[in-house]
Structure 1
Amino acid sequence: MMKKLTLILLLVVASLMAWAGPALTAKQAFERLKTLEGTWEGKASGDMDVKVVYKVTGAGSALIETQFPGTGHEMVTVYHLDGDQLVLTHYCAAGNQPSMKLKSSDANTLSFDFTKGSNMKPTDMHMHSMKLSFKAADHVVSDWTSFQNGKAGYVAHFDLKRVK
């Protein structure tokens, strides 16, 4: 009986892994990110109107994401390759700069986790992880999870559609 349950569990896990697709290399994930170039609009955390602009710069070596451009709470995130790692630095309205690296990926999801930060103590509130989901060619969702006092806090949810 236990062998059958174990076999069933392994089949379920294998099926889920196959459905998600293989992990992307850092370079493949970065190329996927660069397809976001342009202007996106939608809702942040359900009810706040949001605009996000993505721009490829540095001869294709970096992607700049600007959230809430031109407002008092504008924030910038810069994505780039560092050797064989895809990394980001988020220049937050909170005045700190958490950095993250790609933890896991597949064709439709990129997940980043905190590696270090500037202008902050480890216990200060900061963005600690980010998950970006490609829902369709012109629809993405990102979830930015904050961290404070050693534990996860609120999640800033962005549901965006490309402006054509």
Structure 2
Amino acid sequence: MAAGVLRNGSTRLILRRDNLEPAVARLRDPSNNLLKLMEIPARQLTMNGIASDTIPGDMPALAQAGFNRFKLLEGHWQGRSTKGWEETITFKTIAKGSVVVETSFDAHPNETMMTMFYLDGTRLLLTHYCVAGSQPRLEATSFEENGDAITFTFLDATNLPSRDRGHMDKAVFRFVDKDHFSAQWTWYQDGKENWMEEIKYERKR
């Protein structure tokens, strides 16, 4: 019965084969939950500390599925923020199904803003045409809750001489059902990121 010796300073640990083999057999048992846990890929942590379901190899399929979720939003929506103000938005698919355009009314008096969602190869991107005068481009970097939550993070921007100039920097969209979803953005300025109020939307009939 073979044995091995591990030395760590003054510590001497004897490993005997007859002690190891039962443990190895248990580990190899398909019903062992520990083995199943070991096979789960490491999960990315999001800014909310929630484990993400995003696995790099799955990104193309997740990006396509995410884009399809935005296509399903086509129509008119009424939104109400956690601060109490309301807005109306519309979603429309254009350019032979390659772009989803969101048009926002009433969020800023007498102003209209747009956000465009589209695929770039295997990536899901958005470009936000902001009342601040910049056009930040964000990339979907996290798909959580079986695709019901998509997080976009800052990629680059036009008309933004420095990232420290105030701009929309991150966005989280949560899909509840076919008639409800929510959106929450961050405002980044002078090295500080601040979450803005969440807006909950309901489809208008």
Q: TM-score range, shorter-chain basis?
A: 0.7 to 0.9
Q: Structure 1 residue 49: deviation in Å?
A: 1.3
- Separation (CA, whole Å) in 2 of partners of 1:148 and 1:109: 25
Tell me the percent identity: 31
1:111 aligned to 141, 151, 160, which one? 151
- Separation (CA, whole Å) in 2 of partners of 1:163 and 1:77: 19
Q: Which protein shows a greater Rg?
A: 2
Moved more, 120-129 or 62-71: 62-71
2:66 aligned to 4, 29, 37, which one? 29
Correspondences of 1:1-164 after superposition (within 5 Å): 22-23=53-54, 25-68=62-105, 72-105=110-143, 106-120=146-160, 121-164=162-205
1:133-152 deviations in Å (ceiling 9; x for gaps): 01122010100111111121
Whether the 8 Å CA contact 2:79–2:86 is kept in 1: the answer is yes
Moved over 4 A (4+): 20-24
Whether the 8 Å CA contact 2:62–2:147 is kept in 1: the answer is no
Structure 1: give runs of 5+ residues left out of the alignment. Answer: 1-6
Q: Structure 1 residue 67: deviation in Å?
A: 1.0
Higher relative contact order (CA 8 A, sep 6+): 1
Structure 1 length normalisation: TM-score?
A: 0.83
Moved more, 23-32 or 94-103: 23-32
Whether the 8 Å CA contact 1:21–1:107 is kept in 2: the answer is no
1:8-39 deviations in Å (ceiling 9; x for gaps): 9x97xx7xx8xx99545211110111100000
CA RMSD, Structure 1 to Structure 2 (Å)? 2.4
Quote the residue 2:57 is aligned against: none
Number of corresponding residues: 151
